[in-house]
């Protein structure tokens, strides 16, 4: 019994590897910009070529929006709502940070 479980596990691992390899060969990622940004994390240089994608409200990210979906397939409404919510949250967070900085400046200038 133990040997057949091991054989089954090995077979499943092999099948998964074959499927993953075939999938990896067939994927065509969209071409996108790669920046030469390198960040320093505690003395270690870490390339961050896609850092610009983290700002969901940037014109470049908005232009890229939807490129990962197959042509002819619409974006699922749930994802559209999620993207809208994330962009709103990012804008709210940016506004909150800006008002906090302004409040600190006013407090510092009144001292």
Centroid of chain to Cα 84: 15
In whole angstroms, what is the distance from residue 65 CA to residue 102 CA? 32
pLDDT score recorded for residue 25: 63
Burial of 55 (C-beta count, 10 Å sphere; 0-12/13-18/19+):
middle
Q: What pLDDT, in 10s, does the model give residues 86-98?
A: 888 888 888 888 8
Task: Find, among 102, 108, 101, 57, the residue nearest to 83 by Cα.
Answer: 57
pLDDT score recorded for residue 42: 94
Q: What pLDDT, in 10s, does the model give residues 20-55?
A: 555 556 667 667 788 999 999 999 999 999 888 777
């Amino acid at each position: 019994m133990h040997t057949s479980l091991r054989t089954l596990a090995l077979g499943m691992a092999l099948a998964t590897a074959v499927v993953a390899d075939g999938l990896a060969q067939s994927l065509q990622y969209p071409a996108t910009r790669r920046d030469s940004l390198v960040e320093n994390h505690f003395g270690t240089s870490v390339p961050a070529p896609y850092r610009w994608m983290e700002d969901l409200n940037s014109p470049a990210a908005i232009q890229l929006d939807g490129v990962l979906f197959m042509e002819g397939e619409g974006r699922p409404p749930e994802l559209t709502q999620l993207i809208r919510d994330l962009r709103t949250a990012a804008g709210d967070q940016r506004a909150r940070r800006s008002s906090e900085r302004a409040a600190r400046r006013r407090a510092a200038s009144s001292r």
